[in-house]
Structure 1
Amino acid sequence: MLEESRIIAGRWEGVWAGASEPAFQVVHQARELPGLACDGLGDGRWRLSLPIPVELLSDGVQTFLLQADGERVGHFTILSGQPLEADLRAELDLLRAELDLLKRAFRRLCVETAG
């Protein structure tokens, strides 16, 4: 299980909890990235570290998958450049606003029909 994940100084770092040393790959657009380091921390925990290649950073959303035996076990995402029209954060804000509107309408309907 991936316990922690962060990006600092151009490196992705994560902490994995598992019984034995993991055999991971980090994949970006179906290409495995070189340089993933794995260091034991004790108690079945492992620090993973990967330099993020600058040539992969461009406008938009870049998603990096952490895989073990072809199965996704984690990921990290980098958003950079011009704001995206379909930015997921903006979409989430719109969904929250719509949900609040629906909740108010439902509550009003419940009050009106209860009396």
Structure 2
Amino acid sequence: MAAGTIRLTGTRLRAGVWEGVLDVEPHTGAPAIEVVHLDRPIAGLRLTPDPYRAGRFAVAVPIPADLLSDGVQTFLIRDRASGATLDSFAILAGAPLDHDIRAEIELLRAELDMLKKAFRRHCIETM
């Protein structure tokens, strides 16, 4: 791992808690990280050192129920020192989601049809 490198890997979302593994350069200690939703910090982040591997921490982020609502809710996990985003996760919920996904699929299909027609026209014109 390069000096100063921080790597966060999400592992699962279970019982309202997002979990991951944080790897840092050994013997540098736990970095200051934060979880934000709509640019507001989320409380309750836990870093637990791995007793068998220096520089590795288990990360647990409890998701407050009051932040869950219809649509897509995105959470960013950032390094406080640099402001760099280490990872993110999204929670999708509610009835409006069905409409959003269907609309996106229809838009993608229409764009794909347009691209297919343009490609076919291009192939015919270049022969």
TM-score (norm 1): 0.77
Q: How does 1:88-99 map to 2 (within 5 A)?
A: 90-91=103-104, 94-95=107-108, 98-99=111-112
How much has 1:29 moved relative to structure 2? Answer: 2.1
How much has 1:113 moved relative to structure 2? Answer: 3.3
Partners of 2:23 and 2:113 in 1: how far apart?
38
Question: What is the aligned-residue RMSD (CA, Å)?
Answer: 2.6
Task: Describe the SS at the equivalent of 1:73.
Answer: strand
Partners of 1:38 and 1:98 in 2: how far apart?
44
Q: Quick one: percent identity of the two aligned structures?
A: 51
Please list every run of 5 or more consecutive structure 2 residues that lacks an aligned counterpart in the other structure. Answer: 1-6
1:82 maps to which residue? Answer: 95
Where is the strand percentage greater, Structure 1 or Structure 2?
1
Residue-pair matches, total: 114
Task: Describe the SS at the equivalent of 2:44.
Answer: coil
Q: Is the 8 A contact 2:9 2:87 kept in 1?
A: no
1:32 maps to which residue? Answer: 41
2:31 maps to which residue? Answer: 22
How much has 1:90 moved relative to structure 2? Answer: 4.6
Q: How does 1:1-115 map to 2 (within 5 A)?
A: 1-19=7-25, 20=28, 21-41=30-50, 42-69=53-80, 70-84=83-97, 87=100, 90-91=103-104, 94-95=107-108, 98-99=111-112, 101-103=114-116, 105-114=118-127
How much has 1:36 moved relative to structure 2? Answer: 0.7
- Aligned residue type for 1:2: L
Partners of 2:102 and 2:49 in 1: how far apart?
36
How much has 1:6 moved relative to structure 2? Answer: 2.5
TM-score (norm 2): 0.71
